[in-house]
Amino acid sequence: MTFWLNVVLATPAHSALAGPLTYKSDTEIAPGTLLRVPLGKREVLAVAWENLPDSGGLPEDKARQISAVLEGLSPLNTSWRKLTSFTAAYYQRSPGEVALAALPPQLRELSTLQLARRLKRKTADTSSTDSSADLPELSPQQASVLADFQADTRPALLFGATGSGKTEVYLRAAARVLALDPDAQVLVMVPEINLTPQLQSRFEARFAHLGRERVVALHSGLTPAQRLKNWLAAHSGQARLILGTRMAVLASMPRLRLIVVDEEHDPSYKQQEGARYSARDLAIYRARLEAEYAGSDQTACRVLLGSATPSLESWQACKVGRYQRLDMAERIGSTATAAPSDQTKANAGLPTVRGVDMNHQPKRCVIAPPLLEAIVQRIARGEQSLIFLNRRGYAPVLACHDCGWKSECPHCSAYRVFHKIDRSLRCHHCGFAERVPHACPACGNLDIAPVGRGTERLEEHLAELLAGVTRPDGGPVRIARIDADTTRLKGALEAQLAGVHAGQVDVLVGTQMIAKGHDFRHITLVAAINPDSSLFSSDFRASERLFSLLMQAAGRAGRDAKHSAASQMWVQTFYPTHPLFGALKNHDYPAFAEQLLEERQAASMPPFAYSALLRADAKTQEIAQGFLTAAIKAAIDQQLPGHAQVTAYPAVPLTIQRVANQERAQMLLESDSRVALQRFLAAWQPLLFETRRQAEFKSLTRWAIDVDPIAI
């Protein structure tokens, strides 16, 4: 007897094989089963998607037979398949592309025999029923938040100040879920594993009693073998707690009962290649699916979002009642006075924010004299300072002031950054690098000089300014730098952070890698050197991201209660009266959010409207923009569903319009209706294929739709 089934496999959305393909089998196969099937001359990994009553008109002699079933693996369940189907439909990709990307890459390479051997490997059960490790006493606000969370069923937003103890709330919520159900699983998501090593270590330490194999990580930093092992543990239910980055939201976890999304505002949760999904938004949808298939409220899956500076989307969802809002305004150990005012209570234990008007400082000053004096005072007291500059390298540009030559990248419309430590000019967009020339390539002038500052140059400048300063023990000041350049080697970040925690560093210089997620106990001063560049950006989300980043950076100061009263955040700016700095000074995120929401509503921007970008890459800007213009004209001519509610703006180049010799253009689409925008995009896909096949667009490299873009 012949059985027919549709399978999905890793084919790009923009290919002729984007949808499920029909195969035949001699035995009935359950949907969700992992298979190996022939495709062309290759044999590839696939997922059985649905059983069919017949071949659907496909001649049996032309139908291909599945090669093998990956036995020993239980089928991917219905809720997982529905999650991947929704992700593919909403973000305009193929189901197979999303489904196969969610599986560990090594599964594609293993034969059925190799997988069977891997599954036979037994791991020692190191679990223990002893979970009586000394737990920290909950603060009244932590206990209240946990009680409120357990009493509701909606997605919850934990709006907690930096240092208020949000991590302990995550730990207790996870512990309760795992204790109530012996098979329950908990997913804890972080923006980037490398930025939050302490969170990972705290979860592993707290749940060590479960056993090493029951607490696993899922992120791209793992080796292929580790990733497969941890995915198998999650899929089988052996792993009870899974800690991961955005990719983990699509992992198979059959008994998922709690999803924690730490720093839910972070843009790293939005995938920027392939299926451009938002892991935070998918976490909300997945919890709803898991609750639907669980069958009872007692086992429903909950979502706990956490942030000191929530995204405006989540903040608005709380305002209209879709999300539950949980507030923790005070830092752990704060010394708030009795019956304080609301604003004073909200600021209890948080660092004092001091603005430095750079218009009144010496010309070309990098570190203002008052700030330098404050750093020296910290060094004298044996305390640490953090200097934040979100630009790595020595200088963003190398220039000749005689002829005007600048270190432009030959492949991108951007400058190559000067890295002094290895004497290189490196493009941070395409990776092209060259040795620094001895003279100007255009005129031969020997006097070529760096323009602007990165963390590498700032570190050098601070060493010059603090050369005559000594530590309390009489030794020289110790300055360290943490950015993407200093942490390339495996284990480098952990070693550098250990040195900071051990007090081996007096002044720490770095990018956003050190501005969020770290619990530095001896830092009492944080300084933002050049935050002005984001104030007047063309990207409407730039000010939201800047405020979040500065609030997160400020939260690194005074986390030890004995230092909190003297902790400070210094902001050097040429625009001290900007409303953003006023809200930052008061640590008043609600006021800042309300102002931005009013502006967004007046301008019909997210979260009050919905948007998508159609992007195109080609050898010339004319071809890229021509494709976008022709595609939208075809949509209007054919009166696609939803077109009357969708506004399409003219095609324009991206801010950095050329990367790796590819010209990039984009077209923005907006609508007040999410449903109308989705209907339009779905109906537009066939027209995009047709337009791409036109002769004048044969040289188009690629095109892609980005739904709910985070940067425009």
Annotated binding site for Zn(2+), which residues?
400, 403, 409, 412, 427, 430, 440, 443
The SS3 of residue 652 is strand
Rounded distance between C-alpha atoms, residue 158 and residue 161, angstroms:
10
Specify whether the CB–CB gap between 520 and 501 falls below 8 A.
Answer: yes
Six token digits for residue 617: 């890459």
Instruction: Extract the annotated binding site.
Output: 400, 403, 409, 412, 427, 430, 440, 443
Q: Report the sign of the C-alpha dihedral through residues 103, 105, 106, 109, in that order.
A: positive
Specify whether the CB–CB gap between 625 and 691 falls below 8 A.
Answer: no
State the burial class of residue 67 (Cβ atoms within 10 Å of its Cβ: 0-12, 13-18, 19+). middle
Amino acid at 681: L
256-262 sheet: strands from edge to edge: 215-218, 241-244, 185-189, 256-262, 302-307, 156-160, 324-328
The SS3 of residue 656 is strand
Is the preceding peptide bond at 351 cis, omega within 30 degrees of 0?
no
Torsion from C-alpha of 84, 89, 91, 94, nearest 10 degrees: 70
Angle among Cα 101, 199, 142 to the nearest 5 degrees reads 120
- H or E stretch covering 170: helix 166-180
Rounded distance between C-alpha atoms, residue 596 and residue 254, angstroms:
40
Angle among Cα 241, 243, 247 to the nearest 5 degrees reads 125
* Tokens 């809720």 belong to residue: 79
The SS3 of residue 441 is coil
Rounded distance between C-alpha atoms, residue 703 and residue 626, angstroms:
12
Six token digits for residue 302: 């909950």
Phi, psi of 147 (to 5 degrees): -65, -40
* Tokens 């999410």 belong to residue: 674
End-to-end CA distance of the chain: 55
Specify whether the CB–CB gap between 535 and 545 falls below 8 A.
Answer: no
Beta-strand relationship, 42-52 and 3-9: antiparallel
Amino acid at 600: R
Rounded distance between C-alpha atoms, residue 11 and residue 96, angstroms:
6
Rounded distance between C-alpha atoms, residue 664 and residue 314, angstroms:
31
Q: Which residues contact 546 (CB under 8 A, 6 or more apart)?
A: 531, 534, 535, 580
Rounded distance between C-alpha atoms, residue 416 and residue 394, angstroms:
11
DSSP for residue 142 = H
State the burial class of residue 402 (Cβ atoms within 10 Å of its Cβ: 0-12, 13-18, 19+). middle
Following DSSP, what letter does each residue of 443-475 receive, concatenated? T--S-EEEES--HHHHHHHHHHHTTT-B-TTSP
| Beta-carbon-side half-sphere exposure of residue 271 (alpha carbons within 13 Å) | 24
Q: Using H for helix, E for strand and C for coil, what is the string for 558-582?
A: CCCHHHHCCCEEEEEECCCCCHHHH
